[in-house]
Chains A and B, each alone.
Chain A
Amino acid sequence: MDNLELLSDYSSFLREKKEEGKKIIGFISHDNIPEELFDAAGFIPLRLLFAGNDEFMDASHDYLPPSTCAFAQSCIGLFSLKPNQYEFLDLIDYFIVSNHCVSDICASEIISKRFDIPRLNFYIPYTNNENSIKYFKLELLELKKQLEEINGKEIKDENLKESIKKYNSFKRKLLDFSFLNISGSEKLKILQKAILYGPFFLPELESFFEQRSDNEIQTSFNSKEVLLTGGSIFINDPLIDLVEEGGGNITFFDSWIGNNYYSQIIANDILDSIKNPYDILVHRFKNNNFGDHSVPNFLENKILQLEKIYQDHLKKTGRKLGIINHIIKFCDHISLLSSHLKNRLQEKGIQVLNLERDYSRAIRGQLSTRIEAFLEMI
């Protein structure tokens, strides 16, 4: 299935949901946004996880300077140009303005203001200590209030708990899926689709497992194994092809579309022991140690995490993983610490490529060359 088909199917899916009377909430796809709360309130969450291109980026320059992150630019461009395959964006009823980073705020604010989509605010504290966690709960309750006002009815705790469980099982399945030994591009395609649809995708995911009996699953690739960290590879981004054409295979996606999403699973004992469902979401935020939003320990945590994955992989397969740190041009979160991340990991003998790029076509040749050169070194 190519992406045109994916987008067209998704469009039909959203239309159906609208016909059922559901409302759609759009947001820029990072982490910490409580999609379970939307689900419990009967909304359909729509993550903006679409990659950009020259046209989208250019179209955003009426609103933001070109030195804004290429992804945020493209999200604005999508709304501005709204090509046919993205016409489902017209179905969005509300848009979340959140502060994963400041570009997220600016882009979301512009989308809401300029394209007349009522906004809902959800702000996340930058630190992750006792008081920030308490603040996070305030935001959750504030968001609940906003949703209840729209619906004119209360969101029941048991409904929220159900939604949390539903998403939890979905993430567990995705986690299992992430271990399958299939090519990176195939894996990514499913991950993108799964995160776009959310738990609605669960039956398809399960049938994917069924169809793939063990002997069908490829067990080895001749390609160099790569872990992708940093920014996600969003839908319609050819980056994964460039990696595979260069002789690499991404076996681990450590990004918002990837581990950052499906690793945030709430343990069963927590689900059973914490009665208040908002406290469960708070608990998840507290344990989100590897996300890029929080300061001041992001770099330390990320290095520990990547080193552990690398060593585990080495022990298990005897092979080294190369790490591509994908930096979307002008991304505050991934870019600022990138040279330190690379140096610290290289000191430990782990090869890292800091791959910075925007979404322009002109840069593809250069990206291929850099990826190939890196893969040769592994």
Chain B
Amino acid sequence: MSLIADEIVRFSSVLRISYNLLTGRDYLKRKKFREKKKLISIALPFSDLVYGFPNLVPTFPIRMHTFEMHKYLTYLGSASRIFGWKNVSNFLGIIKNLNIGDVNKIIDEIINDVIDAVNNKYNEMYELGIENGVPTDFCYGIKSLYGMHVSKGKNVEANLNYTIRCSAWNKYLESLKTIENPAKQIWIDIPPRNIGNALELLTENLYDGIRELEKISGNNYDRNILRNHFQVANEIRNYYKTILYDISTLGFYPCNPATFSEILVILNNSFQDYNSNAIRYRDNMASLVKEMKERIRNKIGMDVSKMPRILITPMFGGWEPKSHEIIYELGGRAFYADWDILLLLEEIPITKISDPVEAYAHYLMNATKNGIGCDNDTLTDSYLRLARNLRADGLVFIQVFGCHSISNCYAMLKDKLRRELEIPSIALNFNRIGENIEQVKTRLGAFMEMFN
């Protein structure tokens, strides 16, 4: 793991994003009890509407949990409040370079903990989901999300539910009502296709959702606040895309490829609710891009030009987090881009459409029609588009046990990849984090042979 820890400490922005991800509970407690704000549970990157109300705080439910965080990260968090994160990161870098035995170990452990803490919590929530009635046949994501709500759902005022093409997902959202003292459910139906005046209907559905949020907030909807947030959200998307398109495609990385993948994992997780503070997240993304570019300019990092680029997807429904490290050890560089595949990193078109809600409807409809798609033909085209645009040399497809939607398209995808892109692919079965590492190693080993 040290190969990743060595690198991440050089990015103060990554430390900040990770710290904010892991200390969500304290942050959210402060918001709820001291500042009297109300929490709204969201999942998938559907938090934007909530940001239209300054006294509502969106949260991806795992962030309400306490993570077993390394005590030094807590110290670092406190130190950062006094010295600033940049200085803390520089300081860590210096210690690292001096290679002082124990201190060095502590830094490795800190980063190790950030990554493992989230995964351990996921597994814990997965068990809780099953204990509370989710049949084992359902995907990892649904089981763990249900568990998260069982354990912390009482802290939120509402769940903001968007219907998507996955019927298991929609039923899961309904099932949240079975939890004791369930939070209010706000539903926003995304029409399956863009036919007739479907966009208008979606806009109205979003307005209905806003009216529900108004009731919780006690404040009236203000289009300027939402528009301003969408501007921030678009900047976040631009930074995210810069990392994916401009930096990840370079032959020289600002860090080793395993670290790079790790950063993409952290972004994938935190993008869903922007760690409950979009402006802070935007600023961290800005510094992340800046730090990466600076390092590349100064030739700090690693020449990766000879390493095959492997797209691992889908990972949001559950995947083995050791995969990218294994690929790195086998001579490749892995990257993750789920939100871009589903077109959720596209801009919300507020410059073209004056009503922000209508603009958001366009954004969601575009993702539904051209990204997620209402069938596997569209969805597999989305994978293809991304693999082509990001110049993937190979694709690792995660076949999540119990996923009847996204993971179901592999046979069709494999065919298209072979015919249209002529790149190899492999499907890895996934059930639960850590369950199958040896098998993953063997299969990836055989797969990576193809690039030698």
Contact = CB atoms under 8 A, between A and B. Distances in A.
B166 A65 contact: no
Contacts of A132: 189, 191
Most B-side CB within 10 Å, residue of A65, A329, A339: A65
A127 B401 contact: no
A82 B196 CA distance: 38
A202 B429 CA distance: 49
Contacts of B251: none
A139 B165 CA distance: 16
B269 to A, nearest CB: 24
A336 B411 contact: no
B189 A64 contact: no
A259 interface: no
Chain A residues touching B, range: 35 or more
25 contacts: A68-B408, A69-B404, A99-B167, A101-B167, A102-B408, A103-B408, A105-B165, A105-B374, A105-B375, A105-B376, A106-B404, A121-B374, A123-B192, A129-B189, A131-B204, A132-B191, A134-B197, A295-B163, A295-B170, A296-B173, A299-B177, A330-B404, A336-B134, A336-B171, A340-B133
B97 interface: no
B174 A296 contact: yes
B135 A295 contact: no
Contact of A131 (B138, B189, B405): B189
Contacts of A298: 171, 174
B296 interface: no
Interface of A: 62-65, 67-69, 97, 99-103, 105-106, 109-110, 113, 121, 123-127, 129, 131-132, 134-135, 138-139, 141-142, 295-300, 329-330, 332-333, 335-340, 343, 356
A378 B166 CA distance: 37
Closest 5 CB pairs of A and B: A123-B192, A339-B133, A138-B196, A101-B167, A332-B168
B174 A67 contact: no
Interface string B173-199: 111011000000101010111011110
A315 to B, nearest CB: 29
Contact of B135 (A64, A333, A339): A339
Given A125-B192, A126-B163, A131-B201, A67 B404 contact: yes
B217 interface: no
A109 B142 CA distance: 25
Nearest to A124: B192
A129 B201 CA distance: 11
Given A131-B189, A295-B163, A336-B135, A68 B404 contact: yes
Contact of B137 (A62, A97, A295, A335): A335
A336 B146 CA distance: 11
Interface string B120-144: 0000000000000111011000100
Interface of B: 133-135, 137-138, 142, 161, 163, 165-168, 170-175, 177-178, 185, 187, 189, 191-193, 195-198, 201, 204-205, 208, 374-377, 399, 401-405, 407-412
B189 A123 contact: no
Contact of B198 (A110, A138, A297): A138
Nearest to B431: A67
A113 B375 CA distance: 12
A335 B375 contact: no
A330 B195 contact: no
A337 B133 CA distance: 8
Contacts of B189: 125-127, 129, 131-132, 135
Contacts of B163: 125-127, 295
B449 to A, nearest CB: 24
Contacts of B402: 67, 330
Contacts of B187: 127, 129, 295-296
Contacts of B195: 138-139, 142
A103 B138 contact: no
Given A62-B411, A139-B195, 17 more contacts: A67-B404, A106-B404, A109-B377, A110-B412, A113-B377, A121-B193, A125-B191, A125-B192, A127-B189, A135-B189, A138-B196, A138-B198, A299-B174, A332-B168, A333-B171, A335-B137, A340-B178
Most A-side CB within 10 Å, residue of B142, B187, B191: B191
Contacts of A333: 167, 171
Given A62-B411, A101-B167, A296-B173, A329 B137 contact: yes
Contacts of A103: 167, 404, 408
A14 B409 CA distance: 33
Contacts of B175: 299, 336-337, 340
Contacts of A135: 189, 191, 198, 201
B182 to A, nearest CB: 11
A123 B374 contact: yes
A35 B193 CA distance: 21
Contact of A126 (B135, B170, B193): B170
B201 A106 contact: no
